[in-house]
């Protein structure tokens, strides 16, 4: 088992956020990318971060976007599409999406033209 599996997503989220903000992107954009990949709406994402879900717990509860398989390329010298372990592949997908966001790639390209799996947040009445 890889150590990252038992690392809390909440401990890595600020690093993702700092990376994208340094490059002029926003927290909302980061959350949109996470929602697209996992199907978590803003409330569910916040709850999972507050509960300090491990990456294993986080992705066990996710509804991985069916377009996620179209995420290709390398992260830390590893081709994401060649990662055999499903959990590690999901983590690499997330890393790749964060990298693309930080590099300024247009959001429609990052999201692979597919809709988010997250349910829209209800509008306040």
- The verdict on residue 122 lying in a domain is no
Residue 87 exposed, middle or buried by CB count within 10 Å (0-12, 13-18, 19+)? middle
- The verdict on residue 89 lying in a domain is yes
Residue-number span of the structural domain to which 67 is assigned: 3-108
Residues of the chain with pLDDT > 70, as a percent, come to 90
The torsion region of residue 77 among left (phi > 0), alpha (psi -120 to 50) and beta comes to left
Averaged over 19-42, what is the pLDDT? 96
Indicate which CATH number applies to the domain containing 20: 1.10.8.290
Q: How far apart are CA 87 and CA 9, in angstroms?
A: 13
- The verdict on residue 113 lying in a domain is no
Averaged over 43-49, what is the pLDDT? 97
The pTM assigned to this predicted structure is 0.87
DSSP state of 79: E
């Amino acid at each position: 088992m890889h150590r990252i599996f038992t690392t809390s997503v909440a401990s890595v989220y600020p690093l993702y956020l700092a990376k994208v903000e340094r490059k002029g992107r926003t927290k909302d954009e980061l959350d949109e990318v996470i929602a697209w990949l996992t199907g978590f709406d803003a409330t569910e994402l916040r709850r999972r971060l507050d509960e300090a879900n491990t990456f294993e717990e986080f992705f066990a509860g996710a509804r991985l976007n069916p377009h996620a398989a179209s995420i290709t390329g390398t992260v830390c010298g590893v081709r994401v599409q060649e990662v055999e372990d499903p959990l590690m592949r999901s983590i690499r997908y997330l890393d790749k999406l964060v990298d693309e966001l930080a590099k300024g790639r247009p959001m429609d390209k990052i999201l692979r033209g597919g809709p988010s799996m997250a349910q829209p947040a209800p509008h306040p009445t």
